[in-house]
Chain A
Amino acid sequence: MDAGTRAAGRELDEPLVIAGRRLGSRLILGSGGFANHELLAAACRAAEVQLCTVALRRLDPSARGSILDVLEELGVDVLPNTAGCFTARDAVATARLAREAFSTDWIKLEVIGDDRTLLPDAVELVAAAEQLVDEGFTVLPYTTDDPVLARRLQDVGCAAVMPLGSPIGSGMGLCNPYNLSIIVEHATVPVILDAGVGTASDAALAMELGCDAVLCASAISRAHDPVAMARAIALAVRAGRLARGAGRIPRRRYAQASTPVEGMPQLGPSASAQWASTA
Chain B
Amino acid sequence: MTGAGELNVMLNGRPRRVSAPATVASVVSLLDVAPDARGVAVAVDGEVVARSAWERTEVHDGAAVEVVAAIQGG
Contact = CB atoms under 8 A, between A and B. Distances in A.
B14 to A, nearest CB: 10
Contact of B70 (A30, A40, A101, A108): A101
B72 A32 contact: yes
A56 B68 contact: yes
Contact of A61 (B33, B38, B42, B48): B33
Contact of B41 (A53, A54, A83, A101): A101
Contact of B74 (A54, A68, A97, A102): A54
Interface string A80-94: 110100000000010
B67 A58 contact: yes
B68 A101 contact: yes
Contact of B72 (A61, A67, A93, A101): A67
A224 interface: no
Interface string A204-239: 000000000000010000000000000000000000
B73 A100 contact: no
Contacts of B48: 93, 96-97, 99-100
A34 B40 CA distance: 21
Contacts, number: 101
B31 interface: yes
Nearest to A72: B38
Most A Cβ at <10 Å: residue of B48, B50, B72: B72
Interface residues of A, number: 37
Given A100-B48, A100-B50, A100-B51, A55 B70 contact: yes
Contacts of B68: 56-59, 97, 101
Interface residues of B, number: 25
A94 to B, nearest CB: 8
A101 B73 contact: no
B33 A31 contact: no
Interface in B42-60: 42-43, 46, 48, 50-51
Contacts of A96: 43, 48
A278 B51 CA distance: 99
9 contacts: A37-B72, A53-B74, A55-B71, A57-B68, A58-B13, A58-B66, A63-B71, A80-B70, A101-B39
